[in-house]
Amino acid sequence: MTRDQLEDVPLSTTAEFEEVLAEAVERALAAGVEVRGAWVFKTPGSTHHWEVEILELLKEPDGGE
The pLDDT tens digits of the residues spanning 14-59 come to 999 999 999 999 999 999 999 999 999 998 889 999 999 999 998 8
User: Is residue 63 left, alpha or beta, with left meaning phi > 0 and alpha meaning psi from -120 to 50?
Assistant: left
| pTM passes above 0.85 | no
Q: How far is CA 26 from CA 3, 13, 32, 41, 42, in A?
A: 21, 20, 10, 20, 22
Q: Which amino acid is residue 6, in one-letter code?
A: L
User: Is residue 45 left, alpha or beta, with left meaning phi > 0 and alpha meaning psi from -120 to 50?
Assistant: left
